[in-house]
Amino acid sequence: MKKLMIVVVCLYTGLLLVSLVFADAGAAKLAAERCSACHSTGRICEKLGNRTAEVWKQTVQRMKGNGAKLSDAEASTVAEYLPTAKPGSKPLCQ
């Protein structure tokens, strides 16, 4: 019984980690697609690692106000992703 519980916990942890990786990849792709509709993503990539979460949130909201095609949920996803992205992150900084 103890072994079964350990196996279940390990499988659950593995699935959780995989889902987090795919969620991050989806957010990166969403940011790349939506941001590059209006300007080069190089503009964003040069700022990765240098801005706080609050500044990114304000930036995304400003871009949305300027006409960026983002739903509220997508804007939130992008704003949560950008402060965690590393310089050179793909697919955003290809």
Specify burial of residue 11 (Cβ count, 10 A radius: 0-12, 13-18, 19+): exposed
Residue 12 lies in a domain: no
* Cis ω for the linkage preceding 83 (within 30 of 0): no
Residue 78 lies in a domain: yes
pLDDT in tens, 33-45: 998 888 888 888 9
pLDDT at 21 over 60: no
* Residue-averaged pLDDT of the chain: 80
Instruction: Say how far apart CA 61 and CA 54 lie, in whole Å.
Output: 11
Residue 29 structural domain: 22-82
Q: At what angle do helices 53-65 and 72-81 cross, to 10 degrees?
A: 150
Residue 77 lies in a domain: yes
pLDDT in tens, 60-92: 999 999 999 999 999 999 999 999 999 988 888
**Domain of 70: which CATH number?**
1.10.760.10
Residue 26 lies in a domain: yes
